[in-house]
Amino acid sequence: MTTGFLVVDKPAGITSHDVVAVLRAAIRIKKVGHTGTLDPFATGVLPLAIGPSTKLIQFLDESVKVYEGTVRLGQATDTGDPMGEVTEEASVAKLDFKHVQNILNGFCGERMQTPPAYSAIKVRGKPLYKYARAGESVEVPARKIRIDSVELLALRDAELDVRVTCGRGTYVRVLAEEIGVALGTCAHLSSLRRTRSGPFSLEHALTFEQLSLFAAGRDDWPAVLRPERGAPRLKWNEPAEIQKDIQSFMRGPESVLSHLPVLPLSAVDLESLLKRGQVFSVPESMPDGAHWVATSENSIVAVLRRDGPVGRVARMIVRG
C-alpha cells in the first residue's frame, strides 16, 4: 500500500492533525493529508489521502456533508461548542416536536452565515481563533452556504438531537446558536458527529481502536497511539504489517472520483498521455475547465482538464 484513500472515524479529544500524525507514524508514509478538518470535540468521518493520492484531493466532490449533533438549549458558550466558557444562560420553554421541526425547516436552502470567531479561517494570514484567544475582535464577512435539510431526531427538555445535511463551509456550531435564538433562548452545540463527507462515510471507516489493535494487539488506543508524556511507549508492529492490516479499509481513485466523466484510452492514446505536453480531443458538451478521468484497462491513469478546445493532463496517477 503506497497510495489511496482511508476514512478514519476520528475520536473526540484530538485534532485532525493528530490523526494524520498517528497514521504517518504507524505506516511510515510521510505523505498523508486530511480533506476536511473536524473540531477536537467532534467525531466521525475524517477522509485521509495517502501517498500520491494527496495530489487528488482537489478533484474530490465533498459538496454534500451529513452531521448528527446535539443542540444544548438555554446555554451559550464563547466557542459555540462544549470546549468554551459559558457566556449566557436563559430559560427554555416547553417545546413541541412538530413546532421545532417547522422551525428547523426554515433554515434550509441557500443562506448567508458568518463564520464563528473560533475557526480556522484566516484573516491577514492568521486564523480567526488566534485573534479570539488574544481578545481581538475581527470583522469577517458572511458567506453563502447551503443547508439541504435539518431533521429533528429526538427532543428532550433542553436538548435537540438533529441530523444536518449541508454543503461544505457550513458551521453547524453557528447553526446551533441560530436555532436557539429561533426557539426564544440561547444554545450551543454540545456534540457533533460527521457521518458523511461526499463519497466518504462511516460504513467502512477505520476506528482508532482497530488501528490500535493493528499497531500493538490491544484496543486501548490512548495508551497505544497517544501515550501521555513520560508514559512508557509500547512496541508497535512493523509498518508493512500495519499497512497490510488496513488495506481492506483503503479506497482507490476509481471509487472516490466516480463523479467525474470517464474517457477510456486506447494503447495509442495511453502512449501519448505519458508524453509531457500532449493534448487530447474534448467532447463539445464539456465546459471549459471541467475535469474527467482517463482510464486504461478499467484503472484511472490520469485526471484531464479541458483547456479551451483541447484536453490536457491535470494530474497523473502513480500506482503503487
Active site residues: 39
Contact present, 76 and 176 (Cβ < 8 Å): no
Element at 131 (helix H, strand E): helix 128-133
Amino acid at 71: V
Contact present, 63 and 167 (Cβ < 8 Å): yes
Contact present, 212 and 220 (Cβ < 8 Å): yes
Contact present, 47 and 196 (Cβ < 8 Å): no
Long-range contacts of range 54-58, CB-CB < 8 Å, 24 or more positions apart?
55/315, 56/253, 56/256, 56/257, 56/303, 56/315, 56/317, 57/33
